[in-house]
Amino acid sequence: MNISSDITESIISRERLGFDSPGDIEFFLISGEIVNREFFKWLYRDNLMLVKALEDTLIKEAFNKNIRCIVAYKTVNSSRYLIGFVLLALDVNNTYDKTANIVMINVLEEFKRVNIGSNLIHLAEYLAKVTYKKDCMYLNTYIDFEGIEDFYTRLGYIKIQENKETYEATFKKLLTE
């Protein structure tokens, strides 16, 4: 499934924030407007790790502002590294469901030697590569740039109740709306 052509720079907003740790951290919001700085600062704890559980009220604040994906990059010595992202998914009724639809991914260690540059279009490819196993949906990344081909890394999972077709439609909606 290749839907990266549906993702354009016009739906990606960016906010630079100042942190005490070395390097720039950038947040990219797909399909939404910038939420207040306190929201983003709350997402981070020590060692640049995204929190593993997001407070329901904050997630709803983002969701209500039409934010569907929050991505974090760190820049060190002109190299950019994907730290992780939070994906806010919809349930079958097109509404927010906190019990099954939050993906938390920390990939700093796995990607610390990979300079992903500024090609945000690969986000669509990350999210489009989905496999299913038992009651979990595993979100995988496919890297095909700068000489790296056919490299898959398991990033995280969501426990799901709905069927495969429902989530394929959901992900396509998240990436194209």
Which amino acid is present at 30?
I
Structure-model confidence comparison of residues 129 and 88, the more confident one: 88
pLDDT category at 87 given cuts 50, 70, 90 is low
Task: Give 108-130 pLDDT, tens digit per residue.
Answer: 333 333 444 333 334 433 433 33
Contact between 73 and 83 under an 8 Å Cβ cutoff? The reply is yes
**How many whole angstroms separate alpha carbon 77 and alpha carbon 130?**
32
Distance of CA 26 to the CA centre of its chain: 13
CA–CA separation, 147 and 139 (whole Å):
22
**In the predicted structure, residue 88 carries a pLDDT above the cut 50:** yes
Q: Give the whole-angstrom CA distance, residue 149 versus residue 171.
A: 23
| Every domain of the chain and the residues it spans | 4-176
